[in-house]
Chain A
Amino acid sequence: MALVTMREALNQALREEMLRDKDVFLMGEEVGEYQGAYKVTKGLLEELGPQRVIDTPITELGFAGLGVGAAMAGLRPIVEFMTFNFSILATDQIINSAAKMLYMSGGQFKIPIVFRGPGGSAYQVSSQHSQALESWFAYFPGLKVVMPSTPGDAKGLLKSAIRDDDPVIFIEQERMYGQKGEVSDDPEFTIPLGVADIKREGTDATIVARSLMVPIALKAAEILQEQGVSCEVIDPRTIRPLDIGMIIESVKKTNRVVVAEESHPFCGVAAEISSEINERAFDYLDAPVKRVSGADVPMPYAKNLEDLAIPNVDRIVAAVREVAYL
């Protein structure tokens, strides 16, 4: 184990998997000579060469589709979006090609591809560069959606995503690349997709949080502990398929739930989790499921407005107190 940043953990995962399997290649804007817009791909071009680390033109639809085609022909592409904001241009290929190919070909063409890059809120870049898109992708059967919240999870999950035979949307939080954590250096270390993780055990209320909301929920839990409320923090890690079983187990224990997310509330992942809890564990609830979501507005630029748009520790604390009737 070593203490490394999220950025370094992701870099290790990419490097190890590319060394392990020559069919894995990496492409995207500035991934090679520039060393990655966020330096996640640092050193890979030098070590693995230009055949496997490919700088693309700014042509998201084109290279996303090229990646899917390469996967149809047996390769295992990793396609980096400089940010997931730009994946919007590529959604035809992600949704209409990658997600549906196996099904509409009657099981003949699997698409082992990873679309990865930073997403979620960034620092003061306004509406087009700061948004959470996971609910879009999680909507579609055929895609898997992964959002790590720690360097260790990031490494283990990315390695699994690269080894997985299905298209995986792997969203790294743009604000979290510098966050440090313990990371295994065993090249065979992986974390299975579809398995949630209890980030903190507790007995009085459950906070379901993903990505950037995990460290914020953990801070809220510390404050609530001081106030006499023991919180369990569950990180689904994989949004699709969702480990609803672990969430339900926790709800049965605590009887109170807050779901925290950066994304807009309408048709969001928290809405889905809330609905699942209502269907599966309604009789265990002592209060309605409470969502803490990003504001239902395009992200503003001004610092004070941006702060209002993203859930914070105080809002989560208030939400837990609400479901605990405190």
Chain B
Amino acid sequence: MAKSNYEMRKRTPESSRVGADDTSATGVMDEESSEAPASQAAQQSQAVKEAQKSRLADIDRETLISIYHQMLLVRRFEEKAAEIYSAGKIGGFCHLYIGQEAVAIGSIFAIRKDDYVLTSYREHAHAIAKGMSPESVMAELYGKATGCSKGKGGSMHMFDKEVNFLGGHAIVGGQIPLATGVAFASKYKGTDQVTLCYFGEAAVNQGAFHESLNMAQLWRLPCIYICENNQYGMGTSLARAMSSHDISQKAYAYDIASEFVDGMDVLAVREATLRAVERARKEYLPTLLEVRTYRFMGHSMSDPGNYRTRAEIERHQERDPIKLFSASLKEAGVLSDSEFQKIEAEVKEQVEKSVRFAEESPFPDPKELYADIYASPIDAGRS
């Protein structure tokens, strides 16, 4: 085994282990601990704020504001999507990201524009964070011709080649080998681009995860595997699905460097990703980040949510990543009340604009049904 990986693990700052040993925050809990006092969450919120305060100082104001703006944008976007879904204008499945914003935003703020992102079907936030316009994402949700995938992909299959957002994949874990291949291509071509690959903790039980991590370390591929541990695979808690609950430790099996990250702290996510990006860019080495987070909404819009208590959700909402970050920004004097209001208004307009755009856009031309099946179509004797 290469020593460097163990050194990497040692470098993991203690502050980023906030929540790692907290069973109430893991979903790995029994009935008793699920009723853990709210004061515990409050203590953790305090710890996040303390940690954020020390990180705030290292980041320029403009970036901090952009991070906040993006988090709020995707939150409001998802709230609007839920509303529109309920009105019957969005079809199929719709998996919302509310509660997990710190993960996509924090990590994508740690990469370059020409780096790659692949994720699962819960991807609206990643798409917007990677640079896709809310208009093209909303229009895709509406199934309109102006959507990012021309209305053929929908909520679960968003793509934008221009910004290197490579989907939007709806088979649990399916994007993990794909991302590994994108990272392979970067190394093959000798570029220093890195790939961020997101997946939920339930994907860790798929063979695709293990096969990919093995190849990534074996061939030294610049892929950063970001496990968004929101503690539920649909309605099945981590405790009911995984024999060993410490996901970051699974990296040991493949000699991959790993870190546990508090996914409610957007700056902690950014910082951990920056460390992983440096390893990937300079040494072509992969990293597994276990980012502990929580989804405030159901698995999808059709989820009745009877597998967890209201109290559990509320406890996690105490650590709402946007609330925590805005409190830190306010305390550090980065943003004033009026500036917060201004951002809120800007975001509202952005979301409304995306809805207007989607509403006004046409549905795909019927001819599109048979377009884009083959890049080199062959008319084999069918005349």
Contacts and interface: CB of A to CB of B under 8 A. Distances in A.
Given A96-B174, A165-B375, A106 B152 contact: yes
B151 interface: yes
Interface string B144-185: 000111111100010111000011110100101111111111
B185 A57 contact: no
Given A57-B215, A62-B212, A25 B180 contact: no
B185 A74 contact: yes
Contact of B185 (A70, A110, A196): A70
Interface residues of B, number: 52
Contacts of A32: none
B211 A62 contact: yes
Contacts of B305: none
Contacts of B174: 65, 92-93, 96-97
Contacts of A62: 177, 180, 207-208, 211-212, 214-215
B218 interface: yes
Q: Which residue of B177, B179, B189, B379 has the most chain A CB atoms within 10 A of its CB atom?
A: B177
A51 B184 CA distance: 11
Contacts of B169: 97
Interface in A18-33: 25
A151 B214 CA distance: 37
Given A73-B116, A238-B380, A244-B381, A166 B375 contact: yes
A142 B373 CA distance: 5
A96 B218 CA distance: 26
Nearest to B186: A73
Interface string A236-267: 00100111111110000000000000000000
A309 to B, nearest CB: 30
A148 B293 CA distance: 52
Interface string B201-220: 00000011001101100110
Given A59-B211, A104-B152, A244-B380, A110 B177 contact: no
Contact of B380 (A75, A107, A112, A241): A241
Interface in B99-154: 116, 118, 147-153
B181 A102 contact: no
Given A62-B208, A66-B180, A66-B181, A246 B381 contact: yes
B378 A66 contact: no
A65 B176 contact: yes
Contacts of B179: 69
A108 B171 CA distance: 20
A142 B212 CA distance: 25
What interface size band does chain A fall in? 35 or more
Contacts of B148: 106
Interface in A52-108: 54, 56-57, 59, 61-75, 77, 92-93, 96-97, 101-108
A269 to B, nearest CB: 14
B181 A70 contact: yes
A166 B152 contact: no
A166 B372 CA distance: 11
B361 to A, nearest CB: 13
Given A66-B212, A96-B174, A142-B374, A109 B380 contact: no
Contacts of B211: 57, 59, 61-63
A70 B188 contact: yes
A193 interface: yes
B382 interface: yes
B383 interface: yes
B2 interface: no
B149 A105 contact: yes
A110 B373 CA distance: 9
19 contacts: A56-B215, A59-B215, A61-B208, A61-B211, A65-B208, A69-B183, A70-B185, A70-B188, A77-B181, A92-B171, A101-B167, A105-B159, A105-B161, A108-B160, A141-B373, A166-B376, A193-B378, A194-B378, A245-B381
- Closest 5 pairs between A and B when the two form their complex, measured CB to CB: A245-B381, A69-B181, A65-B177, A62-B211, A106-B150
Given A70-B188, A104-B159, A244-B381, 11 more contacts: A25-B188, A56-B215, A57-B214, A69-B177, A72-B181, A97-B169, A104-B168, A107-B150, A109-B159, A194-B378, A242-B380
Interface of A: 25, 51, 54, 56-57, 59, 61-75, 77, 92-93, 96-97, 101-112, 141-142, 144, 164-166, 192-196, 238, 241-248
